[in-house]
Every structure is written in structure tokens, then in C-alpha cells.
Amino acid sequence: MAIVDAALEGVIAIDKQGFIQHVNAAACEMFGYEASELIGRNLAMLMPEPDSAQHDGYIANYLRTGEKKIIGRRRTVNGRRKNGEIFAKELTVTETSLGDEGQLFVGMMRDLSAFQREKAQADELRNELSHANRLNEMGEVVETLAHDFAQPLTAIANFLAAARRLPGAAEFHAIDDLIAKAEQHTQRASDILVRLRGFIEKHSPERAPENLHCVIECALDLACLGDGHRDERIELREIDDKIVVDIDLVLIEQVLVNLLRNAAEATKDASTPKIVIETSLEKPRYVRVSVSDNGSGVDPEAAPKLFKPFASTKKRGMGLGLSLAKSIVERHGGEIGYHPADPHGAVFFFTLPIFAREDDDDRRTGETSRVD
């Protein structure tokens, strides 16, 4: 037994009833027990369910039939440590007889948890490298799109402007209004492509002091329904409508529009859909903007990867919207996150540093700093 006790692999010997007769130091360390806590106890205590409940039956079946199902085979199984942790181990069982002690079953085992952690880390690194390569490819795609779309977007804007100048066009106010909105969104599409191209190329954001209330209102208009009207599902709750943030307006608006459209999609099957945009003061000099909904919520298994590239929860999604939003917010010095809504749904939020309050500027300069 001295050789067994000195072995680096864990060794446990049990009798025909499944009770532990011998255990070496490596096995004690592996499971977190002292030898005195294991000797005379049933081996099932070192197994998770369902193996724990079925172990004695396995031994009885072998003694009755002589059919070897696990003896002499190397297998990967789960063990249970003293602290309750479940871990993977490599196990080989042999049968032997030691004089007066009679028939014994000896299990030799190796803890695989460290190996599996290293494998998981290697897999994660490979995934990150793959994501980095795909992001680099995405940058090239966006640069190409920005270049190729510039000409047709300019042409569309010119055609719309020409339509407004046609004889008699001024008499059709409704059509004129729709053309104006089409011009606005055409210009915005062009601005987004230009900004994204600069963002991916890591150019400095084109920041300026903006009234947060106006930013939210503009995002609500951009995320409106197809008929151009504000979505009645959306409620705005602001702690202060005079907060000024120093931002790239187009990019932050796009973050809000993305969150609003995700919320709208999540609530499409709700009996009484509700979306709430709320602002609140965060840690000193930070404002928090949250978009909550009472929709289908986020699968708990998908939550940890929400903001990673290409980790979409949608059937047709590319998984870039939230990842890009995270990059934009963090580039502005803020944070972005998610938590489940109560009783159901989702809450997505981001923070931004506060640049000023308009009434503070008014008192200092006698002028308003409002950006409308």
C-alpha cells in the first residue's frame, strides 16, 4: 500500500458492498476530505446524481452476472467534492483480491478540471481571435459600403429635392412632408455610414455638447412606426430635461434607436406591449439611460454573450448591433449593460458622463447652452 499512497493519481479501493477500504493522499486532496472521513463510507458520497443512487446496483449486477461494463475501461465521469463542486475525472476500475480483505474494486482517477479550464480558455481565445478577424473584415465591408452607397444616397437626396421643386408640388402638403422625411432619413443614412467608417478606423468621435432630452426625442422620432407617428407603446420618464452630454450625436442616437427597435421586436407578441425610456443620475457626474420592455426577455444562457460580436439572439440577426453599441458607449467613457425586467422582459441601459446642466450654463454666461 506504500506505493499506492505515494501515487500522484487518486486511488480508492472499495469492497463488494461499495464501502471504501483504502484511499490515498492524492484522492483525499482531489475530493477535499481527510482519509478518516472516507474510510468505511459508501463510495456513492463521492458521486453526483444519478450515479450516486445507482452505484450499489451496478456492483450487485456485476457480482450476479459477471458482466463487465466498466471494469478495465478508461472513462470520463463526474465526481463530487466535499464542498459540493462537480468536476470531471478520468477513471479506470480494476478488480483484485487482498488476502483476508477479500474481493476489492480499485479505482484509479485523475482530476480533469484544470485541463478542461485550460481547454475552455483556449477555445475562448480562438473564438476571440475569430471575432477579431471577422470584425476586421466587417471594417472593410463598412468602408466599401460607405464608399459605394455615397453616390446612390446623394442621387436619392437630389431626386427628392427635385420632386419638391416640381410645379404644383407645394399644393400637396402631405406629400411634401413625406418627401422631407425621406430626405431627412437619406441624409441620416449617409451620416451613419460616414460615422461608422470613421469609428471603425478609430478616428476621434465628432463630439459636441448636446441636450440629452433632445437626443432622446430625436431617437424616438427616428424609431417611429412606418406611418411616421410616435409609437404609443413608448413612455418617456426623465429625471431632468436640462442635462447636457458631450457626444457624437449620430452614434449615440443610433445606440438608442437600436435598443428601441430591439424592444419593439421583443414586445410584438405581448398582449399590452410597453416600452419605457428612463433617465436617472448614476455615480457622480454620470447619467443613466435605460430602455425597458415587457416582452419575451432574454434567454439566461444568451445573456453573458449579448454584447459580444456575432452573438445574435435573433434568427436573422448578425449579432453586431449590441456589440457596436457597447463600443460606441465605451468610447464615450460610459458603460452598457442588461438585466431582466420585473416580472418579465428586459432592461438595457447605458451611462454617459454629464457635460453640464443648461441652467448652470445660464447662470455662468447668461445664455442658454441648449442644443435644439
Can you give the CATH number for the domain in which 10 is found?
A: 3.30.450.20
Question: Any idea which of 6-10, 23-27, 39-43, 362-366 has the lowest mean pLDDT?
Answer: 362-366
Distance CA 129, CA 334 (A): 25
Are 238 and 263 in the same domain? Answer: yes
- For a pLDDT cut of 70, what percent of the chain falls above it? 76
Q: Which residue has the higher pLDDT, 308 or 76?
A: 76
Distance in angstroms (rounded) separating the CA atoms of residues 254 and 260: 10
Whether the pLDDT of residue 195 is over 80: the answer is no
Assess whether 228 and 329 both reside in one domain.
Answer: yes
DSSP β-ladder status, 275-281 and 234-237: parallel
Looking at residue 173, its pLDDT comes to: 67
73/123 same-domain check: no
Domain span at residue 138? 114-203
* Least confident range of 233-242, 341-350, 361-370: 361-370
Residues 221 and 182 placed together within one structural domain of the fold: no
Mean per-residue pLDDT, 19-47: 93
Tell whether 269 and 363 lie within a shared domain: yes
DSSP 8-state assignment for residue 81: -
Q: Identify the bridge partners of residue 91 per DSSP, sorted by sequence position.
A: 75, 109
Q: What pLDDT score was predicted for residue 270? A: 85
Q: Grid cell 473584415 — which residue?
A: 137
Percent of the chain scored above 90 by pLDDT?
34
Number of domains into which the chain is organized: 3
The last residue of a domain, from among 78, 111, 144: 111
Number of other CB atoms surrounding residue 256 within 10 Å: 21
Which three cell numbers mark 40? 468505511
Question: In whole angstroms, what is the distance from residue 324 CA to residue 134 CA?
Answer: 13
CATH number at residue 348: 3.30.565.10
Q: Look at the chain and count its residues.
A: 372
